[in-house]
Amino acid sequence: MSADGTTSDPLATPLTPDTTAITDPAQFLNRSGEELDAIFRARPAGRIPVGQGDGTAIVAPGTVVSDAIARVIHDFTWKGKVFEQDAERPDHGWLKNRVLPLGHAAIAAEVYRGESWYDGKECIVLDYKHSSILAQWIRDEIREVSPGVYLGLVYWGKEKEHSHRLIHFALKF
């Protein structure tokens, strides 16, 4: 990877035609919501991650405040996620979010492959409805957009028909 966070890795997905892929999630902050949606839509689900992923919340993407919001969220509330694979079912697992300034592991979710509420294609679902009282109304969807880099969508709602999409986020392993 070059110093500016881009790569010529053939497995990485370019953000737009004729550009190099972004492998540093902070660079997603400069993209519009429409560009992030196009990146998510263009990628297959990828591998279910294992281990600790550093998180970047993407609020108001492509605006002058996106970077500052991401820093505040990372410093004080959400630092990422820690994934564990289910030994008996390789396409399933569990995660805990790393929260608060010290990155405490909390707020569990079930992880599995499923249909995206966004575009109907396969994604990796991070489902909180049966594992967390606090976050039972949250559903995340992620896709691996470059090796070890995942772009995600956050929904509020237990059913697709009654859900609202909230923000994007990224994870880097």
Q: Does 11 fall in a domain?
A: no
User: Is residue 20's pLDDT more than 60?
Assistant: yes
Tell me whether residue 34 is in a domain: yes
Residue 123 has pLDDT above 70, yes or no: yes
Lowest-pLDDT range of 12-16, 17-21, 156-160: 12-16
Does residue 4 belong to any structural domain of this protein? no
pLDDT of 12 reads 52
Residue 17, pLDDT score: 43
Six-digit token pair at 167? 């923000």
| Contacts for 71 with CB less than 8 Å, ≥ 6 apart | none
In-domain check, residue 17: no
- The number of distinct structural domains making up the chain is 1
pLDDT for res 8: 52
∠ CA(82), CA(11), CA(21), 5° rounding?
85
The DSSP secondary structure of 66-134, one letter per residue, reads: HHHHHHHHHHHTEEEEEEEE-SS-TTEEEEEEEETTTTEEEEEEEEEEEE-TTTSSEEEEEE-TTT-ST
Is the pTM for the entire model greater than 0.85? yes
Asked whether the predicted pLDDT for residue 3 surpasses 60, the reply is: no
* Domain presence at residue 86: yes
Question: Is 3 a member of any domain?
Answer: no
Q: Looking at residue 126, which CATH number applies to its domain? A: 2.40.128
Contact 124, 143 (CB under 8 A): yes
Write down the residue that tokens 């996620």 correspond to.
81
Residue 44: give the domain boundaries. Answer: 23-172
Q: How far is residue 128 from each of residues 21, 116, 119, 156, measured CA to CA in Å?
A: 31, 15, 20, 11
Residue type for position 36: L
List pLDDT tens digits, range 72-103. 999 999 999 999 999 999 899 999 999 999 99
Sorting pLDDT into bands at 50, 70 and 90, what band is 21? confident
97 within some domain:
yes
In a domain? residue 13? no
Write the pLDDT tens digit of every residue in 39-51.
Answer: 999 999 999 999 9
**Pairwise CA distance, residues 98 & 55, whole Å:** 9
